Amino acid sequence: MKVQVCIIGGGPSGLLLSQLLHLQGIDTVVLERQSRDYVLGRIRAGVLEHGFARLMREAQCGDRMDREGEIHNGFEIAHDGVLDRVDLFKHSGGNSVMVYGQTELTRDLYEARDRLGGKIVHNAEDVTLHDLTSDAPFVTWRSGDGIGRVDCDYVIGADGFHGVSRKSIPSAVLREYEKVYPFGWLGVLSRTKPVSGELIYARHERGFALCSMRSHVLSRYYIQVPLSDHVEDWSDDAFWAELKRRLPDEVAARLITGPSIEKSIAPLRSYVAEPMRYGRLFLAGDAAHIVPPTGAKGLNTAASDVYYLHQALVARYKTGDEAALDGYSDRALARVWKAQRFSWWMTTLLHRFPDHIAYDQKLQQTELAYLFSSETAQRLLAENYVGLPF
Ligand code: APR
Ligand code: PHB
């Protein structure tokens, strides 16, 4: 097979890029290691920056998101016995976020690709990238008994943190920056009405908690747990009891509990790989960077990579100009690092760290008190939460 752009990974990054390029007449194929059912069975985050929602519309994938997603103009932070609201709309100059699950968004992207006859290969095993520093790279894979091969102009590594693309960059070229947090999030999805119309982030001496949602009948809750905990150790009852302990009494009293329909523990990690380009290979999304989920920036940072990359590829194919491709890594990383900073800041502000001394806890409390006493501080939070421009 011959295409212009071969995309490794059929997650949101790969699918959205494929769709945007297709709409500009650029031919792509997406190689995905898993089956479609498997990809659509993964439960992930659910807050879209307003710029990402715009990009989904531009990609002609925004109809269901606009019908079923919920616009949120603010969220709350529970701390020190109070519940303070961050007015995103007011403090970001009229912007907001869209609450719409990544699973649904991925389903919409697959449907859009199918509608336009997009080429997607599922169950592609042993994907291998070849001749990336030549002007004729190619990719091979195994499926069933056969071997597939695609020749292309460019390879896009959109295959997530555990993918093969980043590993194809020689270690002498790749610089890695990593911070591992000494805790994880235990998440529960339940078919219950969310406890509040807006998200509630809670800083508590027993640890962080988050009340989120996927719709008005589907709730997503999280609590901070030690990395040594196993999901089997947490019964539903134990989860709800611990969540309630970390919420203000009035919120805990109206929390509707129910059986979990998904329960998992995710470790928290910050990671960036530089550069995001090697020869004809360009990385996008989780393949190049990871954030802890506290600021809801993972998926949103993937979106800006895809935006910059699609612009650069369109420029290259429409005018032959490679300047934007050459500038892609620096441009994407500038925004990636800002999302890293914000995610680290929110994580540090709201979690209980095992090595924190009383002094550190006082600083956290002071930071929160300062935040809600200063419109300037709330503006900083709001402009980052709704998403920096791209
Ligand atoms: N070959 C082919 N496909 C692969 C390979 C491989 N060797 N390794 C991984 N993949 C696939 C995965 O199965 C997955 O479907 O690549 C896809 C990567 O998707 P994601 O992990 O969802 O990453 P990305 O598309 O960049 O999405 C952004 O932001 O909030 C975060 O983790 C969240 O998934 C979200 C991400
Ligand atoms: C989620 O709903 O899964 C979610 C929401 C906000 C976050 C992280 C996760 O900051």
293 is a catalytic site residue = yes
What's phi and psi for 211, nearest 5 deg? Answer: -105, 110
Mean pLDDT in the chain?
A: 97
Query: Average of pLDDT values for 224-238?
Result: 97
CA–centroid distance, residue 156 to ligand 1 (Å): 12
Query: Average of pLDDT values for 210-237?
Result: 96
Identify any residues that bridge with 2 across adjacent strands, giving them in sequence order. Answer: 151
Is pLDDT of 239 > 90? yes
Predicted confidence at residue 61, as pLDDT, reads: 96
Query: Average of pLDDT values for 292-306?
Result: 96
Predicted confidence at residue 382, as pLDDT, reads: 98
Cα 21 from chain centre: 21
Identify any residues that bridge with 289 across adjacent strands, giving them in sequence order. Answer: 272
30 close to 116: Cβ distance less than 8 angstroms: no
33 close to 123: Cβ distance less than 8 angstroms: yes
Predicted confidence at residue 45, as pLDDT, reads: 84
Is 160 close to ligand 1, i.e. is its CB under 6 Å away? yes
Expressed in percent and rounded to 5, the helix, strand and coil fractions of the chain are 40, 30, 30
Query: Average of pLDDT values for 68-86?
Result: 96
Condensed to tens digits (0 to 9), the pLDDT of residues 25-34 reads 999 999 999 9
Which of 137, 289, 293, 310 is catalytic? The answer is 293
177 is a catalytic site residue = no
- List of residues 6+ apart from 370 with CB closer than 8 A: 377
Condensed to tens digits (0 to 9), the pLDDT of residues 261-293 reads 999 999 999 999 999 999 999 999 999 999 999
Mutate to test the pocket of ligand 1, among 13, 55, 307 (most ligand atoms within 8 A of CB): 13
Query: Average of pLDDT values for 227-234?
Result: 97
120 close to 288: Cβ distance less than 8 angstroms: no
72 is a catalytic site residue = yes
CB-facing half-sphere around the CA of 231: CA atoms within 13 A? 13
Predicted confidence at residue 125, as pLDDT, reads: 97
385 is a catalytic site residue = yes
Give the number of the ligand closest to the Cα of residue 109. 1
Predicted confidence at residue 144, as pLDDT, reads: 84
* Residue pointed to by tokens 């200063």: 374
Is pLDDT of 44 > 90? no
Is pLDDT of 145 > 90? no
Please tell me whether residue 83 adopts helix, strand or coil conformation: strand
Q: Distance between CA 8 and CA 28 in Å, rounded? A: 10
Please tell me whether residue 161 adopts helix, strand or coil conformation: coil
| pLDDT band per the 50, 70, 90 thresholds, residue 43 | confident
Distances (CA, A) of 254 to 190, 192, 193, 194, 241: 15, 12, 10, 10, 13
Query: Average of pLDDT values for 37-60?
Result: 94
192 close to 256: Cβ distance less than 8 angstroms: yes
Is pLDDT of 384 > 90? yes
Predicted confidence at residue 42, as pLDDT, reads: 86
Identify any residues that bridge with 326 across adjacent strands, giving them in sequence order. Answer: none
CA–centroid distance, residue 207 to ligand 1 (Å): 29
Is pLDDT of 327 > 90? yes
Which residues lie with the beta carbon below 6 Å from any ligand 2 atom?
Answer: 45-47, 199, 212, 220, 293-296
| pLDDT band per the 50, 70, 90 thresholds, residue 19 | very high
Q: Distance between CA 332 and CA 276 in Å, rounded? A: 8
CB burial of 46-72 (b: ≥16 within 10 Å; e: otherwise) equals: bbbbbbbbbbbeebebbeebeeebbeb
275 is a catalytic site residue = no
Predicted confidence at residue 122, as pLDDT, reads: 97
Question: If 0-12 CB within 10 Å is exposed, 13-18 middle and 19+ buried, where does residue 95 land?
Answer: middle
Count of residues making up the chain:
390
Is pLDDT of 317 > 90? yes
Q: Distance between CA 104 and CA 115 in Å, rounded? A: 16
